Each structure stands twice: as C-alpha cells, then as structure tokens.
Chains A and B, each alone.
Chain A
Amino acid sequence: MILKFILNTFILTMLTFSLSAEETGSHEHSEGEKGLTKEEIDEGIDHHLQDAHSFHLMTNEETGAHYGFPLPVILWDDGLHMFMSSAFHHGEDLVKSGDKTFMLFHNKIYSINESEPIFISKKRDTTIINKEGKEEEITVTDTIHSYSYSEFEQNFISHEGHLPEEAFIANAKPIDFSITKNVFLIIVIGLILFLMFFFAARSYKKHGYLPSGLGRFLEPIILFVRDNIAKPNIGEKHYKRYMGFLLTVFFFIWIVNLFGLTPIGVNITNNIAVTSALAVMVYLITTFTAKKNYWLHIFWMPGVPVPMKFILAPIELLGTIIKPFSLLIRLYANITAGHIVIMSILAMMMFLSSWIGSSLSFFLAIVLGILELLVAALQAYIFTMLSALYFGSAVDEGDHH
C-alpha cells in the first residue's frame, strides 16, 4: 500500500519535473534565460491547480502535438451553445456558435465580438467623497489596455505572453456548464465509487453475512464511519437517516483527494465550487431535518437571561451559515495549500538547479506527498465528522440538558 503511494508520489514528482523542464526549455528558446522566474512558477502552479476544458495529459514540445482528448463545452449565452472543446484548438481559434463568438484563454471562455476590442482591466481601491461629503473606499475597475482580437492573438496566444499581474479580461463571460476536466473526473470517480460499492454490496448476498474481496477491505471503513462518526455525534436514535450522505461524502472526498495526488493532475476538492456544493448540501440537510429543539436553541436560547436571548439569536443564526462555510473553506484550503506547497518545492528543484538542492527538494516533495496522503484521509474524516456534528445538533432533543 505505502509502496504504491510512494510510487504515485514519485510519478507525480517525475511528471511535474518533466513538465517544468519543458517550460524551461521553451523559455530558453524564446528568452535564452536559465531557470524560471517567480511569475512563471506561480503561473505554472496556478495552471496545474485550475480546471480545464479538455483532458490534456501532455504536450510534445518538439512537434507541438498535444496528447489528451476533448470534452464537450456547454455554454449559456442568451441560448444554449454546445460544441467540443477541440474546436478551440487549445485556445488558438475562436469558435462561432449561433450568433456568438467564443474565445478560450487560460482555461476561461469569453464571449467576444470580433468588431469590438478585448479589454484588459485591473481593479484598484480608491477613496472618493460621497454625496454626504464623507470619504468612502470603493473598488474601481480601470481598463489598462484594449486590443483588437488580432492584436490580442498576436501578443498573448501566439507568443504565449502573460497578462500583467492582477489584470484580467473584462469581456463578458458566458455561464459555463461545460463538462470540464473536473466534471469529467467527478463522473469517472463517481462511477468507480459506484462499481466498487455495488460489487462490495453484492458480495454480501453471495456469502450470506460475510463480504468477500473488496467488501472485506471496505467494510471496516464503513463501520468506522458508522461507529466512530455517525453514532457518537448524531446519536443511536437518528443516525440511520444520515448514514447515506455521510458515507457518500466521506468516500467521495477521500477518493477525490487521492486522485488529486496522482499524476493525471485532478484537483477537484481544490475547486471552491465543489466544496461549496457539498457544504450547501450539509446546510440544507441540517436545516430541513432540524427538530424543534434546534430552532429553540437558535432563536430562544434556554437558560440565559432574556436580553441575552436577543443578542444570541442573530449570532446563532449567523453561526448556522458560518459552520458549513468553514467546512467548505477548510477542505478547499487544505487541499489547495498542500498542492501549492508540493508544487513550490518541486519548482525549487528547477530554481536551485544544483545537484544537492534538487535532490533535497525531491526528497522533501516525497515526504510531503506522504503527508498529503494523510491529509487526504484526514480532511475527508473531518468534513464527515463535522457534518455529523451539525446533523447531531439538528436532531438533538435536549434529553441530556
């Protein structure tokens, strides 16, 4: 098991090494400089962490051939637009669908009009005097450049230029319902999970009460979720209702986190939308299964003086939202931070470009990779555990008060 993990980490390291080597190579051609600049490393890490519209495995620098496969793009921009991501040719081409034109730039799709320029903007904090004559801080968006599409294409796509720091393209973005790399992998992982547990469940039928094969490995984990997470936090009486969600969320997060450590570069739980979706579900389940006692503790806290009740009510009400919010931030931040640290240490290998420094950072990356394995399971455990705790507070009937 551990050997396999180490192997995975090793492969991840090697792959990142080779990817970074390619980047270095290209810059040696264009700028003739050695090593990577801070911006390039930042961008490389960002790029690795970001979602993409196609499943891109690797690029052959010499021939310029991309290995991977396209995924469907589904956009809503005054109507539904569907096409395969291969139509963008990795951002080199514009795609016309209906009366709209779409541009892919750094994994984001923009709705543009070839007759209109592309605006590059920056946000800036400034102080203005408002109507009442008081100073007020506001954020304004300045357009720092505007290019026609051909100029933009020339500067940023053909020559792989970078936007200035903190700048972004201000053109309209359609609502993107594409089957992106992450969505595709969620489907794949969902299928893997389903098959895994479907066969585990079937093995019980074959052998009566005892599982066989995979079920034997999975059963202790299921029992762990039941006996160490659900029962103590929700209580013997109500835990059964939540078992489905808790088990699904636990295994989903865990497997997704583990996939995040593989070299294919899936980063599903470091997507804020994914963790938000999970947290919103936790919030809705807590709210809709809550018993009288839960609402009583929010709006009319028993056992405190009446004026305190009025102060506590809004705090408690806010707390119901903060709790799932902390869940989503925690999961997102842990996974993102872990990836950033590993990537940074790998980047250090290129940065130091000496024999000792590189091997040092290589081993550090392996150690961190093993730590990430622990974090992958721990975050799944904590997410499930805290969800169970919130469910437990929702169904608590106050017998032990």
Chain B
Amino acid sequence: MEKLINEFSIGMFFWQTLLFLVLLFLLRKFAWKPILKAVNSREENIQDALDMAVKTKAEMKKLQTQNENLVKEARVERDQMIKEAKETGNKLVEDSKKKAKEEADKIIENARASINSEKNAAIAELKGQVASVALEIAEKMLREELSSSDKQKTLASKLAEDISLN
C-alpha cells in the first residue's frame, strides 16, 4: 500500500484527468454522436423495413383469404344457381307435361262426349228409322196379313199364341 501511495503522482493524475476529459469531449462530439446516430437510424430503417414486410405479409394473407372466401361464395352461388335452374327447368317440363296431359284429357273427354252424343244421336236416329222401318214393315205386313180374313185370323191366333207363350 505504501508503495502505491509513493508512486502516486499528482502531475500524472492532473494530466490524465485533463487529457481524458478533452478526449471524451472531442470523441463525444465528433465520433460517438455521429456514429451512434447513423447506427441507430440504420437500425430503425431495418426495423421499419422488417415491420413493413411483416405487415405486407399479413395484408397479403388477408387478401388471399378474402379471395378464397370470394371464390368459395361464388362457387356456392353458382351451385345454387345451377340447382335453381335445374329446378325451374324440371318444373317447366313438369308443368307443360301436366298441362299437355290435361289438355289431352280434355280433348279426349270432349271427343268422348261428342262421340257419346253422336252415338246417342245416331242411336236415336237409328231408333227412329228402325221404328219407321218397323212401322212400315208392320204396316206392309199388316196390310198383307190383313188383306184376307184368314190371314187376319191366323195372325190374331199367332199373336194370341205368342202372348200366351210369353
């Protein structure tokens, strides 16, 4: 310890303090400040760029998911549309089938009705004609039968026979 105290030189202490403070001042002003400033701004730039990249990436991802969603929605919509179109088509076909059938039925019905009425008319007419023909025949036969009294008698007995037979 004593050796240390003996070695201590006030002059050296003075010069070291003075020179170090001058060096500190000069370096601070001309070296550390500009260097640290440049380094800091560089680091900030890099950080900003990195942040930006992350941000851009996130945005890209967002856009991508948005796009995907859009595509999905479109697909769903398309499917829906196709389905609807199919349904409409089917319905149309069905409807027209139904209508056609109805029409056909109607036509058939009408035809049937007119046939019936025609038939009825024809039958009626035929009946009339048959009646008149029968009448004529009967008249003629009567005339024939009744032309002689034998014949009238035979007929009358035959008729009577028929009636009794029935």
Contact = CB atoms under 8 A, between A and B. Distances in A.
Interface of A: 51, 74, 123, 168, 175-180, 182-183, 186-187, 190, 193-194, 197-198, 200-202, 204-205, 209-211, 215, 219, 222-223, 226, 243-245, 247-248, 252, 271-274, 276-278, 280-281, 332
A183 B10 contact: no
A226 B30 contact: no
Nearest to A329: B4
Nearest to A268: B16
Interface string B34-75: 111011011001000000000000000000000000000000
A281 B17 contact: yes
Q: Give the 4 A-B residue pairs with the shortest CB-CB distance, closest first.
A: A197-B31, A273-B12, A209-B42, A277-B16
A274 B17 CA distance: 8
Given A198-B31, A200-B31, A281 B10 contact: no
Interface stretch (B18-26, B80-88, B118-126, B137-145): B18-26
B20 A277 contact: yes
Given A248-B20, A248-B23, A277-B16, 9 more contacts: A51-B12, A175-B10, A194-B26, A201-B31, A205-B38, A244-B24, A271-B7, A277-B13, A278-B20
A221 to B, nearest CB: 11
A332 B13 CA distance: 14
A209 B38 contact: yes
A364 to B, nearest CB: 27
A177 B31 contact: no
Given A183-B12, A247-B32, A281 B20 contact: yes
Given A179-B15, A183-B15, A277-B17, A272 B31 contact: no
Nearest to A277: B16
Contact of A190 (B7, B12, B22, B39): B22
Q: Point out which of A176, A243, A272, A332 has the most chain B C-beta atoms below 10 A from its C-beta.
A: A272
Contacts of B26: 194
Contact of B30 (A177, A194, A209, A247): A194
A51 B41 CA distance: 44
B35 A204 contact: yes
Contacts, number: 124
B146 to A, nearest CB: 150
A177 B11 contact: yes
Interface residues of B, number: 34
A180 to B, nearest CB: 7
Nearest to A218: B35
Nearest to B29: A244
A202 B37 CA distance: 12
A168 B26 CA distance: 41
A278 B4 contact: no
A194 B31 contact: yes
Given A271-B9, A273-B8, A273-B10, A244 B15 contact: no
A223 B11 contact: no
Interface of B: 2, 4, 6-17, 19-20, 22-24, 26-28, 30-36, 38-39, 41-42, 45
A178 B69 CA distance: 84
B154 to A, nearest CB: 152
A272 B12 CA distance: 9
B125 to A, nearest CB: 121
Contacts of A274: 12-13, 16
Nearest to B37: A204
Nearest to B31: A197
19 contacts: A168-B6, A177-B15, A183-B11, A194-B26, A197-B30, A197-B35, A200-B35, A205-B38, A210-B42, A215-B35, A222-B32, A222-B36, A244-B28, A271-B7, A272-B4, A274-B13, A276-B8, A278-B20, A281-B17
Nearest to A194: B26
A223 B40 CA distance: 10
Contacts of A179: 15
A248 B27 contact: yes
Residue among B17, B24, B28, B31 with the most chain A CB within 10 A? B31
Contact of A201 (B8, B15, B23, B34): B34
B13 to A, nearest CB: 4
B11 to A, nearest CB: 4
Contact of A273 (B13, B30, B39, B41): B13
A273 B27 contact: no
Contacts of B11: 74, 175-178, 180, 183, 273
Contacts of A226: 36
B23 A193 contact: yes
B28 A272 contact: no
Contacts of B19: 183, 186-187, 190
B38 to A, nearest CB: 4
Contacts of A204: 34-35, 38
B164 to A, nearest CB: 144
Nearest to B44: A209
Given A222-B35, A277-B17, A271 B12 contact: yes
Contact of B10 (A176, A198, A215, A271): A176
B36 A219 contact: no
